[in-house]
Structure 1
Amino acid sequence: MTEQQDSPAEAGEVRHRTIKSFVMRAGRMTEGQQRGLDQGWPKFGLELADGLRDFDALFGRTAPRTFEIGFGMGHATLEMAAAAPEQDFIGVEVHRPGVGALLNGAMTQNLSNIRVYSCDALEVLRDCVADASLERVLLFFPDPWHKSRHHKRRIVQPAFAELVRSKLRIGGVLHMATDWEHYAEHMLEVMNVAPGYRNLAEDGRYVPRPEERPITKFERRGERLGHGVWDLKFQRVD
């Protein structure tokens, strides 16, 4: 799950509100999560400061590449990467226990098709990912900021749609999912007017849950409580 915050303005600059893909959260680290950070980060961790990366060189191959914004504890990422060894996955998450959990899982399952950033996902997209290089961008269950006065903090905004479009190859897909119907409507409203996209839903609204998106424990609990989940897929066409 991803969250957002307002970034402080630099000294001497005019203050502009900038959408972040996270709010920094503290959390206790388990032994396995710490092991993931200690042993897995040198193998799979990437740094924002390194700038634009050659992912073909990093992964040692040319393959379809998925970029996931806010992987939480990494369960879905691990499941997708294990199910598609012919694809590469770049995940971004600021919650350190989640980063450690994903790295520990990658080592435990002996996966080599995962790389991880622990910083703002939007900065990674802007500074580290080449244009027209991604097969998919995933945004699963971002913070809905359900209060009206907080809607401006939502990550899905016109600028986000344009940034993602520039990084997707022609034919690449932005896949979003949320369990907040009002946020799903907001996503739909933003994406329907975003240039260069086509809605892949037959009815022009939401797609059925794709088989490639794992069902999380969080989602199963919501289903038991009668909560809905809305999936949106928009393909870059221009």
Structure 2
Amino acid sequence: MPDSDRYSAIKTFARRSARMTESQKRDYAELSPSLCLPFSEAALNFAGLFGNAGPVTVEIGFGNGDATAQIAEANPDSNYIGIEVYRPGVARLLGEIQRRSLRNLFIVEHDALDVFEYMFLPDSVSGVHVFFPDPWPKKRHHKRRLLQRPHTDLIASRIAAGGYIRFVTDWLPYAESAKAALGDTPALVSRAAGNAGLAARPETKFERRGREAAQEITELAYIKAPGSAHLA
């Protein structure tokens, strides 16, 4: 299989209905030209994009963007890129960026695996957040799960030594399969989420729903071992 098809031949997302409110339509039309980065096969220059040399954290599949905006606002000295294909969620986060006057957050509205392969240089990202992704619960759909190899190899190759990937789900079978995939990914070392030096994480809408339904929440954190070279 050609390199360009290694990671995204099978999509890890499904496009949902893109019905937007009038305010979301307005925010998307007015704000996306300046805050949404177009997909490109050229790697981003983070320092040029953000105007500083601060660390860059990427969130894959931010949903409606509430947690994303809260994290960016609470950490103004860090930089963030959110990746999402659900346009109403993109529009909602665009509105939050404007309302909170955030200068450290941009969006890419495209397949995350393509973005990681082409737009991020190896060893360039300080952190990766994957909060409550689609668990694809049916066995025939397991191949669409984001956190499986070789996807985790690609993601790990873009994380700088000492950086991390943080995964949260309320679907125990996905937690177990993701733990196995991340554990088998070279250069990644497991850490207890509370002991990995990670900032507090705001509760998401999906997390509240899960707790209300008495579902078990699993959080995993893996650090890229210092001295590890990229392998993808």
TM-score by length of 1: 0.87
The 3-state SS of whatever aligns with 1:90 is strand
What letter corresponds to residue 149 of structure 2 in structure 1? P
Query: What is the letter of the counterpart of residue 221 of structure 2?
Result: K
Label 1:105 to 1:128 Cα distance change in 2 as closer, same or farther (>3 A): same
Find the partner of 1:223 among 204, 211, 214: 211
Question: SS at the partner of 1:48?
Answer: coil
**2:63 & 2:94 partners in 1: Cα distance?**
12
Distance 2:213 2:167 in 1: 22
> Is residue 2:30 matched to residue 1:24?
no
- The 2-side partners of 1:64 and 1:224 are apart by 35
Q: Map residues 20-169 of structure 1 onto 2, 5 A cutoff.
A: 20-49=11-40, 51-169=42-160
Paired residue for 1:170? 161
Q: Provide the C-alpha distance between the structure 2 equivalents of 1:136 and 1:129, rounded to a whole number of angstroms.
A: 12
Shift of 1:212: 2.4
1:49 is paired with a residue whose SS is coil
Residue 232 of structure 1 aligns with an amino acid whose one-letter code is L
Q: Which runs of 5+ in 2 are unaligned?
A: none
1:29 counterpart SS class: coil
Compute the displacement of 1:78 (Å): 0.4
Contact 1:21 1:155 survives alignment (8 Å): yes
Is the contact between residue 13 and residue 144 of structure 2 (CA under 8 Å) also seen in structure 1? no
Letter in 1 for 2:224: R
Give the whole-Å Cα distance in 2 for the aligned partners of 1:60 and 1:157.
Answer: 34
Equivalence for 1:212: 200
- Per the TM alignment, residue 191 of structure 1 is displaced from its structure 2 partner at its CA by 1.3
RMSD: 2.1
- Aligned partner of 1:187 in structure 2 is 178
Indicate the larger mover: 137-146 or 17-26. 17-26
Letter in 1 for 2:82: G
**Deviation sequence 1:164-193 (CA, Å, 0-9, x none):** 111000000011110001110001111111
* In 2: Cα distance, 1:194 partner to 1:88 partner: 26
> Structure 1 residues 44-53 or 128-137, which shifts more?
44-53
Contact 2:12–2:144 (8 Å) recurs in 1:
no
Task: For residues 121-168 of structure 1, give each alpha carbon's deviation from its aligned partner in whole angstroms, at most 9, with x where no partner exists.
Answer: 110111111111111011111111112222112111111111111100
Instruction: Return the alpha-carbon distance in structure 1 between the equivalents of residues 161 and 42 of structure 2.
Output: 23
Identity of aligned residues (%): 38
Secondary structure of the equivalent of 1:183? helix
Q: Is the 8 A contact 1:88 1:114 kept in 2?
A: yes
> How many pairs are equivalent?
221
How does the TM-score come out when normalised to structure 2? 0.89
